[in-house]
Structure 1
Amino acid sequence: MTMNVSRRGFLKGTATAGAALFIGTTASGVLAAGQEDVVLNPFVKIDADGTVTVIIKHFEMGQGTTTGLTTLVAEELDASWDQIKTDFAPADANTYNNLFFGKLQGTGGSTAIANSFLQYRKAGATARELLVRAASQKWGVDESLIKVSNGVLSVGNRSAHFGKFVHLASTLKATPEPQLKTPDQFTLIGKMDLPRKDSSDKTNGSAIFAMDVKLPGMVYVAIKRAPRFGGTLSSFDIRKAKEISGFIDAKPLPNKAGIAVYAENTWAAFQARNAVSAEWDFSAAENRSDKELINFHSNAAKEPAVHAWGIPREDAKSLIEKSERVIEADFTFPFLSHSPMETLNCVIEPTASGVRVHDGAQMPTMIQGNLAHLLGIKPEQVEVKTYYAGGSFGRRATAAADYQMEAAMAFDLLGRKVPVKLVWSREDDIRGGYYRPMYAHNVAIGIDGDGKVTGWNHGLAGKSILIGTPFEAFMVKDNVDETSVEGVKHSLYNIPNMSVGVTNIETPVPVLWWRSVGHTHTAYAMESMMDMLAHETGQDPVELRLSLLDKSDDKQKRMAGVIEAVRDAANWKTGDQRGFASHFSFNTYVAVVADISVDGDRVHVDKLHIAVDCGVAVNPDVIKAQMEGGSGFGLGHILRSEITLENGEVVQENFPDYEPLRMRDMPAVDVTIVQSADAPSGVGEPGVPPTGPAVANAIFAQTGKRITHLPLTKSGFEFV
């Protein structure tokens, strides 16, 4: 059964019998309260039975948004954790926009809690104030005498749950700025023992993902795509596909990028797709091997086309040439697949006013805009029903809404009369592009007789994620994609005479943000160079970094704080054969100490010690889990993962040849959360960047071998 997620349908669909109190925003964006005709779309809804529903504007891919946003509301509302449930918001960028992204509803950049911290707290506080005011009027007592705890209002020997007051509360006017709690009054924020809101459903199997959606009369579709990126369809033959039981039809996509193969179920769609033969035009495709591309990137990094930051490149070169000693290194980073456990999929169905998309939707606004353009309807006629997503790591957030557009094209070609479900196989996922870009770095550091840096010249080369997308207008300046150089440009270290340049590589291979985006490669290069600098000048790696931070600067002070915290937690001693790295990303500070064991060419990562400062720790257990998960994600991909090409075609197909992190690979992880009163910042991504270089620096400490070309297995080590 399908749920109508239009404004009125959503409100009715989330209400139980009887009156309900909604806390949300009016058309002018003002926080308001009332019944369904008063509020456009709510953040909080309280039913007559006392149930509180928190409307989640950020999708849940395992990172904990349903728990985090619920905590913010429950804290200010003084609700019982058990009485609160969650529901995903409908697509409406006017109300549910990401406050850091402008008028765009979407999740990414580790911003969910950071941009919603005050918004959801205010919604909870507003609901509390109105309930108290309603109870005051109903009981005839002063508001100051009424206590609220665990979803119950009380005064003297009288008490009642929230639901008893929602009808009266919905008639009252909300104050523009509700009174928020001070940190010393928190009872939920910062507490370790809150169970995640999604754990129960995901454990008992009741959680619904887009892959679970099945509608009456639904047709399944798989796409046969060009084996080389940029290839276009010349001709195809479906005679063998007609022999597959369940095959319905096959039609070329209007963009000539593939063939939509329709069937009665997923298996038949895959089998029929494989039976379709096709001829392709590769004249505009990527036809090079990964080795050719790596060489091309490496040469481009040595002479960057665009100055990104710092002093002129020639000035940095001159200073380095005059230095007593010079450290130089070249780094290469391969294409990487996101490979979330739930492969890409969605359902598109016709409605009376347009279409409805069922999806683990990371960027609802992009889905609405792209599909509306394709189908010739208005964006508001594209409803989006969001479900749990089985991972993403950035893959579900393309500006072009790539897989949803494939589904829409298939839906359109079939006449727009029946629901169409698109499903990608694992092979589609790994060979289908939108990778972490391939990157090369060329770095030179000059050192004087006292071991001080005289100049730092840093060149990068890789395909821009943002150029050519709608994000270019506000995230690309002077042809510099900020995601290409983040982590090098404006490093928190006080590095004198630094120059940063970048070359934007042109290739048909589609690229995308991948968990921690540019920091995936910039942190590795920067922290490897810092370790090389410490070794060359005979300094302790931790003390060197601390010497380059000025504690009179707040950001540098916080970075020094996590470095000192992990140093103490890991009992770091000068001369230890261990690895260290620290990095600032997504406004969060992380430092890592890596302990490894080496037996010949066999390496095992034994333990990671992590310290993190992410501002107010809303859910410490979620933060801990994200640091563990982020470090595991980062470790898994530096060990042995890479996407390689032969004549432009991806070699890897499935997990046997694109091996994920194994249980045996995962080290013990000890997380120290540095207490902070600053606003919350990201936690989903910042654990990734420093993990790789910490492990690589540990390998150098024990073997003397410096690894600058990833994955680590390229250096002859076996990870066991």
Structure 2
Amino acid sequence: MSQGLIDAQRGAQPDAARDINPDAGGSRFSRRTFLKFSATVGAAAGGGLLLGFSIPALSQGQGQAQSQAGQSVIGGDASEPAPAGVFAPNAFIQIDTAGKVTLVIPKVEMGQGVYTSIPMLIAEELEVPLDTVTLDHAPPNEKLFMDPLLGGQLTGGSTSIRYAWEPMRKAGATARVLLINAAAQQWQVDPATCHAQAGQVMHAASNRSIGYGQLVDAAAKLPAPQNVPLKDPKDFRIIGTAVKRLDSPEKVDGTAVFGLDVRVPDMVYAAIATCPVFGGTLGSVDDTNAKKIPGVRQVIKADNAVAVIGDHTWAAKRGLAALDISWNEGAGANLSMQQIVGDLAAAADHGTGAVARKDGDVTKGFSDAKTRVDAVYQQPFLAHATMEPVNCTVHVRPDGCDIWLGTQVPTRIVDTAVKITGLPAEKITVHNHLLGGGFGRRLEFDMATQALKIGKQLGTPVKVVWTREEDIQHDMYRPYYYDKISAGLDANGKPIAWQHRIVGSSILARFAPPAFQHGIDPDAVEVASDLPYDLPNQLIDYVRQEPRTVPTAFWRGVGPTRGTFVVESFIDELAAQAKVDPVKYRRDLLGKTPRALNVLDTATQAAGWGSASLPKGQGRGVSVMHAFGSFFAMVADVTVDQGEVTVNRVVCAVDCGMTVNPNTIEAQVQGGIIFGITAALYSEITIKDGRVEQNNFTDYRMLRIDQTPSIEVHIVKSTEAPGGIGEPGTAALAPALTNAIYAATGKRLRQLPVGSQLQTA
């Protein structure tokens, strides 16, 4: 998920890029003015200080701040929200009498490090050692745990730190002031003569100190101070330091619990087969042989799938293999990639699309141009292929329902459970766990829907785990995108006309319908509609074309991944047409975007751009990107030998605003680059006879550890508010890679993946 959804949820009108992107000039909301703070104080059950803090949500399509009220949430139990019209707490701090700080947070940990970086924000302002802060998963409650940047309780869009940056720090600062005031009252001194340090309040004049745990009951009775000042960044002691991951020990010793690790009493196991054809249904099932297998308990039909229930996974899998299944394949049985791409190409030739940006006079710009360059770029369907395959454990009973899984959208899990079971929401309990990779896959809830339909027929706890084959062949895929792009160049090779049509599926029209306005999917046009380059005449439009029966969903970076590949590849084409070094060409167009220019200079200098010629068969490519509130530049060095590409080195410069944990940033960028190399070189989902042709890592190839290049991450110091970091590394990689291949071979690749195109380019 990307910035497009964030901005759409803010009520931005999508007919101009400066309204779509809050970092562009003319935006009606800045992150600093958007995040407002309200605190409430109360006593926690059993004693202690409970501090609630909130972020106002945005009314749909209005761009107006709303406030709601709610009660405390501790340890996963949420009380009823108060009437609308006042603030709803978004997350809470609990400090117990032992001085332990607990943060209940609606962001989930899926490898990105938020369970370290968010506590750093609290610990910094609260003046406690980081190792005294622990986290609890927040329960599903959209009103209490709304993320206004995304319009719901979900994790995605590289927003976790952007969302938490100011409210979490203010919560910590407010709690610190309360504790100081409580100590000052006890000592009968002026609070200004006290200070907090290492979980204690100190009074230097009398050489007295007292621990937070001894103050929390008194502090809970005090009124919450308003407008508590935050630390000056120059005084930070935790934020900005390289902190080791707090969740690493349990992941190393095996005590960490992912959805796949869940075991509950009396649990049985389900193996699933889903109709291989999109849109097909289950016909008939002969389960005679399956029921003869020891350990097989039952065979259950569920819409377009059949499940075998066993005492253990092996029994269920053997039983599934023994079934004689007949599928009703339906009209989708003839679907092919040729049809899908043909639909996209025809849509691209449609007269006009929905306008995402229009600046100047594009028609006149082309008429004045000395040279015109036209190109078509294509990017394939992609599966998520998370390390932890799709899974969900459920126990559906007449009086309630428990669901165990790792999800990015807990409230949507509740919604689907209500629909399937008929139970009220308060009878649904979601046990959210660590995620073994998300990448957008766990923004969907189809796995829970299927498990609930099976569990409803059983009445006992059942664990449903998709095999890797099911996972890849029944994923919800990154859309296939088809882009037509043109530029008119003046006599010096500078673009004076720019026209870009994006054709593809709209994820937002399904996932968040209010965000799809005036025919524009803000995610699909992201980057394309807000370029860092100085282009006087632009026309960017969008044509929605759904791929018949193929389901589409967010995939790490989504719109910016698509947009950056097209834009940065095409900029390279223009540089080649103008016979200008591609870095110089970009520098000449970035005068109005100094942060983009800075990361470009940082990356290219670190990579040694232009310092020496490369051997034959080697090439160096570059890309620049502004997305997710961050600025990126990448330089990739490759070797091409008989059609095989080896990525030797990637140098990346990152300006993501103020940094919380440099270790997390570096790890996220490294992981994003590896994810992006895998996709650019190898990944594609193809359709034949209505079904996915790939089924496992044998034909949906992953980058091997010995193929991983040297990766250098240079973090640019900045005083700007934090930007996103989880997705930009993936989004910026592909064009640097393909531009490097062009430098090595002279072959311009306009279609991904590289492996299927290089031989014929």
Q: Same fold (TM over 0.5)?
A: yes
Mapped contact 2:407–2:432 kept (Cα < 8 A): yes
Q: Report if the CA contact (8 A) 1:459-1:501 is conserved.
A: yes
The counterpart of 2:748, out of the listed 691, 702, 706, is 706
* Structure 1 residue runs without a partner (length 5+): 1-14
CA contact under 8 A between 1:455 and 1:497: conserved in structure 2? Answer: yes
Match of 1:396, SS?
helix
- Residue 659 of structure 1 corresponds to 701
CA distance in 2: counterparts of 1:500 and 1:209, whole angstroms:
43
State how far apart, in whole Å, the 2-side matches of 1:468 and 1:304 are.
25
- Equivalent residue runs for 1:325-404 within 5 Å: 325-350=371-396, 354-398=400-444, 401-404=445-448
Quote the Cα distance in structure 2 between the aligned partners of 1:93 and 1:573.
52
Question: Is the Cα contact below 8 Å between 1:25 and 1:95 reproduced in 2?
Answer: no
Pair 1:145 & 2:193 matched: yes
With 31-40 and 488-497 compared, the bigger mean Cα shift is at 31-40
Give 1:25 shift: 4.8
The Cα shift of 1:176 comes to 3.2
- Secondary structure of 2:659's counterpart equals coil
Q: 2:209 aligns with which of 136, 159, 177?
A: 159
Q: Which moved more, 1:582-591 or 1:148-157?
A: 148-157
Give, in angstroms, the shift of residue 296 of structure 1: 3.3
Shift of 1:390: 0.2
Counterpart of 2:308 in structure 1: which amino acid? V
Describe how 1:156-235 pairs up with structure 2 within 5 A: 156=204, 157-192=207-242, 194-235=243-284
Is 1:493 the counterpart of 2:541? The answer is no
Q: Partner of 1:20 in structure 2?
A: 48
* Residue number in structure 1 paired with 2:590: 549
Aligned to 2:116: 67
Give the residue type in structure 2 aligned to 1:91.
Answer: P
Q: In the alignment, is the contact (CA less than 8 A) between 1:451 and 1:537 conserved in 2?
A: yes
Residue pair 1:298, 1:442 contacting (<8 A) in 2 also? no
Structure 1 counterpart of 2:208, which letter? R
Q: Which residue does the alignment assign to 1:503? A: 543
1:275 equivalent to 2:322? Answer: yes
Which of 457, 471, 479 does residue 413 from structure 1 map onto? Answer: 457
For residue 176 of structure 2, the aligned residue among 125, 128, 137 is 128
The one-letter code of the counterpart of 2:557 is: S
- My pick for the range that moved more, 65-74 or 18-27, is 18-27
Match of 2:727 in 1: 685
**Contact kept in structure 1, 2:44 and 2:94, CA below 8 Å:** no
Q: 1:184 to 1:304 in 2, by over 3 A?
A: farther
Asked if 1:56 corresponds to 2:97, the answer is no
What's the CA shift for 1:321? 6.6
Q: Deviation of residue 649 (structure 1)?
A: 1.4
- Which amino acid letter does the alignment assign opposite residue 472 of structure 1? P
Aligned-pair CA distance for 1:242: 0.8
Q: Structure 2 CA distance, aligned partners of 1:276 and 1:464?
A: 37
Question: Are 1:622 and 2:664 matched, yes or no?
Answer: yes
Note if 1:446 corresponds to 2:493. Answer: no
Aligned length: 689
Per-residue deviation, 1:694: 0.4
Match of 1:648 among 687, 690, 701: 690
Which residue of the other structure, out of 87, 93, 104, is the alignment partner of 2:136?
Answer: 87
Deviation at 1:293, TM superposition (A): 2.3
Any gaps of 5 or more consecutive residues in structure 2? Answer: 1-42, 55-66, 82-88, 614-618
> Are the counterparts in 2 of residues 21 and 34 from structure 1 also a CA contact under 8 Å?
no
Structure-2-length-normalised TM-score: 0.86
Local SS of the residue matching 2:317: helix
Task: Quote the residue 2:356 is aligned against.
Answer: 309
* Pair 1:696–1:93, CA change in 2 (3 A): same
Tell me which moved more, 124-133 or 159-168: 159-168
Q: Are the counterparts in 1 of residues 116 and 247 from structure 2 also a CA contact under 8 Å?
A: yes
Quick one: structure 1 residues 287 and 123, their matched pair in 2 at CA, closer, same or farther if it must change by over 3 Å?
A: farther
Q: Spell out the pairing of 1:475-490 with structure 2 (5 A cutoff).
A: 475-490=515-530
Q: Deviations over 1:598-656 (max 9, x none)?
A: 34434321111111111111111101111111111111111111112221111111111
Aligned-pair CA distance for 1:28: 4.3
CA offsets, 1:129-181, max 9 Å, x none?
A: 12112222223332223232222322243333321212222222222333321
Aligned equivalents of 2:422 and 2:694: distance in 1?
38
Residues 49-93 of structure 1: CA deviation (Å, up to 9, x unaligned): 222122221000000111111011001101112222222111122
Corresponding residue number in structure 1 for 2:306: 259
C-alpha distance in 2, partners of 1:526/1:660?
Answer: 26
For 1:160, give the aligned amino acid: I
Aligned amino acid, residue 406 of structure 1: Q
Taking a change above 3 Å as real, the CA distance of residues 38 and 377 of structure 1, as seen in their structure-2 partners, is: closer
AA at the equivalent of 1:240: N
CA distance in 2, matches of 1:580, 1:57: 37
Q: Do structure 1's residue 461 and structure 2's residue 489 form an aligned pair? A: no
* Corresponding position: 1:636 with 2:678: yes
Q: Separation in 2 of the partners of 1:419 and 1:318?
A: 67
1:75 and 1:187 in contact (8 A); partners too? yes
Shift of 1:38: 10
Q: Distance in 2 between matches of 1:130 and 1:584?
A: 40
Check whether the contact 1:540–1:574 (CA below 8 A) recurs between aligned residues: no
Structure 2 counterpart SS, 1:248: strand
- Tell me the residue number matched to 2:62: none
SS of the aligned residue for 1:96 comes to coil
The residue that corresponds to 1:8 in the other structure is none
Aligned Cα root-mean-square deviation (Å): 2.7
Contact 2:280 2:327 in 1 (8 A): yes
Distance in 2 (CA, whole Å) between partners of 1:550 and 1:372 is 54
**Partner SS for 1:74:** helix
* Aligned partners of 1:595 and 1:607 also within 8 Å: yes
